[in-house]
Structure 1
Amino acid sequence: MREVARLTEDQWAGRWTTGYTGPDGVRDGYRDFRGTVPVIVTVLELLERRGPHGQDWWRYGHEGWETLDHALDNRDDVRAYSVREEQRRTAAKARREREQREREEQRRRQEAAAWPCPECGSKVYPAGLDDGWGGGAAPGALCSVCQSRTDHNAREARERAEEQAVLEGKRAVVPAG
């Protein structure tokens, strides 16, 4: 039986069709059995012992002995692939929904922890909840725009004071004439 299976494989095996390649490179597909003939074999001893409804049948391309209805089923066909494809779609949808819920929860925590900027009133987010828009401040601090303006004004005031000190130092050094 094994030799007959090997010699006739082109007639019963079906053509493999790749329908999906996952992000991890795992390929999935199905066998197209159009134009093929299922070959199912048994031995008289099994039929005599268990009858035609037992696990007496071996279909070429399947593993082990099966009942007749299982042996006649094309388990690797497009129906089985469709079930796996639906499972992948369902899992992907569940993953997207979970990620969306996590983003919404993160946003809710950010909003709950925010306070208004003491100068302009825009929302300021505490450290550890930085959303990429200048958050991450200490509680009660200015927003990043107001803090930047405050830092800039302080830097300019320091530079003016230093320039003034230099000018006053030169005046003090010049002898009166």
Structure 2
Amino acid sequence: MAHGGQGVPLWQSYYPPTGRDGYPPILVVFDPGTRLGEQALKNRMNRVLDLTRDHWSGTYKGFGGYGSERSDGYYDYADAIALLFTTLDRIQESGPLAAVWWRCGHRRWETLTDALDNPKDVRAWRRRDEERHKVQQAREAREREERGAAADEGWGGPRVPAQPEPVLPPYKTCGGPLGAGD
């Protein structure tokens, strides 16, 4: 299927946009039954996590360097696939809307909405950047006030009266001031 001369992935033609970066998520529901113990299940999840890391981890975009205290950045998930795990037991006990989803890279059980979110994406970087900008503006305003107060103190401080011009004694020959009629 083509759109504007470019190929469109098939899944985009069937599903409406969600506002999330990246591809549709993959949800893996394990059914350990009686064959898998808790540790075996964790081992299997960790193995899948390790084998798929290149597909679910975003690409880091770093900024900073010259003129900044430290570098900062965000993860771009445009080419990432969110990979979520759960177990059939968890879904049956709490339901799919509870914190039963483990997203690779998040390190905790979350609700489906939270698991699909990308908390380290460009939105988080923009919030940090805006906070840095506000701190910088406050610092500049404080420095302007301090400079203004220092200048005001210079104008409003005690003044030394101007010394009058010294009166030169009259010249003995002509009676005028020295250097007046040379």
Q: Normalised by the shorter chain, which TM-score bucket?
A: 0.5 to 0.7
Aligned residue in 1 for 2:38? none
Aligned residue in 2 for 1:102? 146
Q: Which has the higher helix share?
A: 1
What is the alpha-carbon distance in structure 1 between the residues aligned to residue 92 and residue 163 of structure 2?
94
Deviation at 1:116, TM superposition (A): 4.6
Deviation at 1:23, TM superposition (A): 3.4
Unaligned runs of 5+ in 2: 1-44, 165-182
Deviation at 1:85, TM superposition (A): 0.7
What is the alpha-carbon distance in structure 2 between the residues aligned to residue 117 and residue 8 of structure 1?
82
1:80-109 Cα distance to aligned partner (Å, 9 max, x none): 111111111111011101111111112222
Aligned residue in 2 for 1:4? 48
Give the TM-score normalised by structure 2. 0.61
Match of 1:78 among 122, 126, 144: 122
Deviation at 1:115, TM superposition (A): 1.1
Give the TM-score normalised by structure 1. 0.62
1:56 corresponds to which letter in structure 2? V
What is the alpha-carbon distance in structure 2 between the residues aligned to residue 111 and residue 45 of structure 1?
78
Q: Which has the higher strand share?
A: 2
1:107-145 Cα distance to aligned partner (Å, 9 max, x none): 22222114154227xxxxxxxxxxxxxxxxxxxxxxxxx
1:65 corresponds to which letter in structure 2? W
What is the alpha-carbon distance in structure 2 between the residues aligned to residue 16 and residue 65 of structure 1?
24
Map 1:1-177 to 2 at 5 A: 1-21=45-65, 23-24=68-69, 26-119=70-163
TM-aligned CA distance change 1:93 to 1:11, over 3 Å: same
State the SS of the aligned residue for 1:41.
strand
Kindly indicate whether structure 1 or structure 2 has the higher relative contact order, using CA contacts under 8 Å at least 6 residues apart. Answer: 2
State the SS of the aligned residue for 1:38.
strand
Q: Which has the larger radius of gyration?
A: 1
1:132-169 Cα distance to aligned partner (Å, 9 max, x none): xxxxxxxxxxxxxxxxxxxxxxxxxxxxxxxxxxxxxx
What is the alpha-carbon distance in structure 1 between the residues aligned to residue 122 and residue 64 of structure 2?
12
